[in-house]
Amino acid sequence: MIRSGLVTINGLEQWLYVRLNPRAKGTLLFLHGGPGWADAPWAHFVCADLWNDFNIVHWDQRGTSRTYSQSNATSQESLTVEIMVKDCISVLEYLVDDLRLKKITVVGHSWGAVLGVLLANRRPELLKGLVSIGQLVKSSLSEPKSLRYCKKMATEFGRSDLDKIIKKLPPNFYKNVDTLFIQREILGELNGDFSTSVVRNAYQEVAEGAPENYFMSWEQLNESCMRSVRQLWDELTQIDFFKKGVDFKVPFLLMQGIHDHCTDFETAQDWFKKIKSSSNKKSIQFDRSSHWPQFEENEKFVRILKDWCFKL
């Protein structure tokens, strides 16, 4: 049963894509990245082998996709990390109280993984488990590594045009959204977010083949992402999960592509070792993936996720 539409979340109508299964063994709430980059356009691919076992929920967060056009959804006052955490709590309460779903496993990607950790610290009783994919931990550690990767690969690929641009970027490029966007565009050209250009092309094709209502346009996705990043990025660069994010009381699964140069693999692994979760924790690396293992190695992603969830 599909129950997609606008739901009042923390005082604002926001779009939920809800697919219910009467025989579900659990519920998965996906938290997309960006900020402002919806993952619903890829749900029919990423979740195809999960439909039979779970209730599946995707949410266009405040400032994203179908929620983007809602009144005041992207004003400076209403788009903060704290507001987003409260929105997430409101979504979970709606799923539990209104849809009568049991405790939910949250699956967060990139920015969504940040939101998941903050949620687990704030309201652990709402979660059955937490899954993080492409975890951002501390920008001041991961972003300089991302820039060094760009410098190295521009040389290896013979891209003198990119090398010239990279050399003009300051070491703290990530603290300014305009220079961040420049670096991210270069990173994409050098396969730092997807393992190959072939996978990137497939990613685009899957979105364009999404069911009606799940994909609007690239222009709309890009606009909502850029707007959300501009308003949230300063707060994100200040996050340090080594200081506040190592002691949450829910089962935790970390999934990371070893070629991830958006959210550095080694930094995430160092952080994982320090987590003091009172329940079980597990880390899985994806050897053929960069920032999107749920897409790049979907079969492995589904197998690991099912096995972990069924053992909770």
56 has pLDDT over 70: yes
Residue 306 reports pLDDT greater than 70: yes
CATH topology of domain 5-138+197-310: Rossmann fold (3.40.50)
Residues 6+ apart with CB under 8 A from 202: none
Task: State pTM to two decimals.
Answer: 0.94
What is the chain's alpha carbon radius of gyration, rounded to the nearest angstrom? 18
- At residue 246 the predicted structure's pLDDT band, cuts being 50, 70 and 90, is confident
Angle at CA 64, nearest 5°, toward 223 and 215? 80
Work out the pLDDT band at 195, boundaries 50, 70, 90.
Answer: confident
Q: What is the pLDDT of residues 18-36, one digit of tens each?
A: 999 989 999 999 999 999 9
Check: CB of residue 272 under 8 Å from CB of residue 245: no
At 66 the pLDDT is: 84
- The confidence score (pLDDT) of residue 178 equals 95
Pair 198, 34: CB distance under 8 Å: no
Rounded to whole angstroms, the Cα distance separating 184 from 14 reads 28
Q: What pLDDT is recorded for position 70?
A: 57
**Per-residue pLDDT at 47:** 96
Token pair for residue 170? 């300051």
What was the pLDDT predicted at 214? Answer: 85
DSSP 211: P
Average per-residue pLDDT for the chain: 92
Between CA 143 and CA 264 the distance in angstroms is: 8
Name the burial class of residue 275, with classes exposed (0-12), middle (13-18) and buried (19+) by CB atoms within 10 angstroms of its CB: middle
Q: What is the pLDDT of residue 128?
A: 95
- pLDDT-derived band of residue 1, with 50, 70 and 90 as boundaries? low
Q: Cβ-count burial of 293 within 10 angstroms (0-12 exposed, 13-18 middle, 19+ buried)?
A: buried
Q: Edge-to-edge strands of the sheet including 12-19?
A: 5-9, 12-19, 55-60, 27-31, 104-109, 127-133, 252-257, 281-286
Give the type of residue at 74: T
Q: Could you report the per-residue pLDDT of 147-179, keeping only the tens digit for each?
A: 999 999 999 999 999 999 999 999 999 999 999
Share of the chain above pLDDT 70, in %: 96
Least confident of 105-114, 134-143, 149-158, 216-225: 216-225
Instruction: Delimit the CATH 3.40.50.1820 region(s) of the chain.
Output: 5-138+197-310
pLDDT number for residue 238: 95
pLDDT range class, residue 196, cuts 50, 70, 90: confident
Compute the average pLDDT of residues 115-127: 95
Q: In angstroms, rounded to a whole number, what is the distance separating the alpha carbons of residues 191 and 291?
A: 10
pLDDT range class, residue 184, cuts 50, 70, 90: very high
Q: Is the peptide bond before 171 cis (omega within 30 degrees of 0)?
A: no
